[in-house]
Structure 1
């Protein structure tokens, strides 16, 4: 263990002092980790490495799904591991990052392990948590901002690649009307810019896309229906997980559209993303009510997502679940059930097939 002088008055010092009682640290990201989970886990590992020096691993389940996220990982090479399972030692401290309390999409839940610490920015009810250390700041744009503040408190430079990852994480968490920046974010952004590489950021933003992505995009737009100011899009099948959130981000920018839900069957699961631009709405609560009794969900005031596992492979089973979600989402949005209007008129689709 390193003998390092800590900034004793800081939040990060309290975490590090508690961690020093353990033999190792396991940082757990949510499944299919996004840039915020990756940057947060990476930054926390650097913090531990440079201070108390405990053996530290950053793990997550699933895969890196969006093209930009895969490109970010290829370019920046963060020290993360994607695992199907993990053996936790009793002397290891498990830290859950960028994942709300009660979420089921991480390895700790599957192994029924209580985290030692939780560091996150999602909306959550912390009353029942038993973790010794909890730092949840829902007003902050990204979990990466919290960890960046820890590094800054301990006077640890993030380095070019980590700073780039953190900046990209904050950027991805502030889109689709989730565009608030707290005082912490505003302090951290210029600090990270001192170290980040603009060229790498630009390259990540312009990641190459697979041809199947454009097929999913076309089908999604053809299957989008409008109900007053609500847009709904359901795909019976999609090749890429990323299309669900990206279509939701795209549709909420459409004139006269204020709320969006997009879903697609990936493998045997139905993935759902929701967006709202209204200040009084809470997308996390809205998607939770829509998926009640069907699957899990989580998110923010204006962006949220969820999953219904094992919906079945038959077209009738998928249609039944999709219709139920449509009715529930319209109820949550206060829109009377009626026949939807296609975003793109069917005659326009048919007339242009042979062009």
Structure 2
């Protein structure tokens, strides 16, 4: 029996489903949650909830939610811990309680659909395909195999998700993405699609990218840059995407302080470097980090630095020095090469 049929059978036995997005959800996570909700509705589940933690700060992500009118609710621990026996809990685009989500470790999970590397995945239904370019690709396959109606809103969401996750079909793309996109193209709302593909950019995002350019340090073909404090968490991956296109740069890593944590974003077209493993090695003892060979991210609580300095300027300097050193050490680049 196909994964789609197995999922449908599991959903048929439930009366409620809570779909938890990962922290600060992106279009791939949001579209996948929307699609799973539609599949659950087709299976007869009337109570469906999509929860998220963190921020939806990237301009494209905000436009995505607003233009597609996605019904999201802030995460509440009680909604996943104190649920009924016939209430299902699902993860899309992430896999493990407590890892890039606010679900308490050890919570029973019923459905996991993901395309990221992960250890310790435990759920009644698991479909995790690291070779696939987007989680939305997997959900599109389910919709087609289960013959679930795909309206323009859902088609637009999934198509934007696949396009965004693969950097317009230039990163990590497989034949499955092209097949899914071909199916979705004629069903999508083309005007909404155009508006979502090229949303407006905030001034703070441009300032953050400019700061990353100005603060860059390059050793061999690796670029590392700290931007200090920023209110635009999603400006960090945008800066990394841009800096990775500079001549002579094969790996770009950008970090900055967002509220009470240091966020790190890496991009590495270089096949010799696994960005996820580099970030994991750099920060596994102080935070959480990982990802694919070409795209990765991490987060370190600022509290481990806060007690070591009295003023913000000194804190920023300390963070810049320590994070930069950890990254170059993880990349085996000696101090004399920096």
Quote how far apart the aligned CAs of 1:85 are: 4.1
The alignment status of 1:200 with 2:192, answered yes or no, reads yes
Counterpart of 1:219 in structure 2 is 211
Counterpart of 1:276 in structure 2 is 268
The alignment status of 1:249 with 2:241, answered yes or no, reads yes
Q: Deviations over 1:10-60 (max 9, x none)?
A: 311211212333331111100111000100000000011122334211111
User: What SS does structure 2 have at the residue aligned with 1:108?
Assistant: coil
Counterpart of 1:316 in structure 2 is 314
Q: Deviations over 1:99-119 (max 9, x none)?
A: 143652213236x42311210
Q: Distance in 2 between matches of 1:286 and 1:15?
A: 35
Structure 1's unaligned 5+ residue stretches are 1-8, 341-355
Q: Distance in 2 between matches of 1:323 and 1:114?
A: 40
The alignment status of 1:174 with 2:166, answered yes or no, reads yes
2:103 aligned to which of 108, 112, 122: 108
**TM-score, normalisation: structure 1:** 0.86
C-alpha contact 1:123 1:284 (8 A) present in aligned 2 = no
The alignment status of 1:137 with 2:129, answered yes or no, reads yes
The alignment status of 1:159 with 2:151, answered yes or no, reads yes
Quote how far apart the aligned CAs of 1:287 are: 0.8
Counterpart of 1:297 in structure 2 is 289
Cα 1:23–1:182 shift into 2, 3 Å = same
C-alpha contact 1:268 1:310 (8 A) present in aligned 2 = yes
2:117 aligned to which of 123, 140, 149: 123
RMSD: 2.1
Q: Distance in 1 between matches of 2:322 and 2:68?
A: 42
Q: Distance in 2 between matches of 1:324 and 1:176?
A: 34
Q: Distance in 2 between matches of 1:73 and 1:230?
A: 35
**TM-score, normalisation: structure 2:** 0.91
Instruction: State the aligned residue count.
Output: 329
User: What SS does structure 2 have at the residue aligned with 1:235?
Assistant: strand
Q: Distance in 1 between matches of 2:109 and 2:269?
A: 33
Q: Distance in 1 between matches of 2:245 and 2:268?
A: 10
- 1:339-350 → structure 2 map (5 Å cutoff): 340=338
Structure 2's unaligned 5+ residue stretches are none
Quote how far apart the aligned CAs of 1:175 are: 2.5
1:25 aligned to which of 17, 20, 45: 17
Counterpart of 1:3 in structure 2 is none
Counterpart of 1:263 in structure 2 is 255
Counterpart of 2:331 in structure 1 is 333
Q: Distance in 1 between matches of 2:97 and 2:45?
A: 30
C-alpha contact 2:267 2:294 (8 A) present in aligned 1 = yes
Q: Distance in 1 between matches of 2:12 and 2:297?
A: 36
Counterpart of 2:231 in structure 1 is 239
Q: Distance in 1 between matches of 2:191 and 2:24?
A: 26
Quote how far apart the aligned CAs of 1:243 are: 1.2
Q: Distance in 1 between matches of 2:330 and 2:258?
A: 25
Q: Distance in 1 between matches of 2:68 and 2:220?
A: 44
Q: Distance in 1 between matches of 2:69 and 2:249?
A: 38
